[in-house]
Amino acid sequence: MSTIVRYSYAALGSVMLLLGLIGFVLPVMPGTVFLLVAAWAFARSVPAVHRWLHGHRWFGPVLQRWERGRCVDRRTKWLASAMLGVSAVVSGALLADRPFALLAVLAVMAAVLAYLHTRATCRVRH
């Protein structure tokens, strides 16, 4: 792989990681989706960061389950759904005077929910 392609993957991974971290703090952004893309990009560019993400106590298990079986555990699905619900309420309040923007935001949220809940559900041992 060329150096420019590797740097491009690393830049994409860095941006997605930053957005993912923001998404875990702010209820209006789906952090998990950004972390999945970041892990994918870092696997192709900076293996050390990919390993760090996989070993992280919060992100690691979700990423490992996704890469191993393309599945999401029930808790993560419902937590993401709840956060999107909060985001929908906040978006409704902030975009009340812009109905087309609100409709667009809600449509994206609905698409994310549909995608999330049509993925296989992993069994998690506690």
Question: What's the pLDDT tens digit per position in 46-84?
Answer: 999 999 999 999 889 989 998 889 898 898 888 888 888
The pTM score is: 0.73
Question: What band does 23 get if pLDDT is binned at 50, 70 and 90?
Answer: confident
Q: Which residues pair with 72 in a beta bridge?
A: 121
Residue 124 scores a pLDDT above 80: no
- Percent of the chain whose pLDDT exceeds 90: 54
Rg of the chain in Å (alpha carbons): 16
pLDDT, position 20: 87
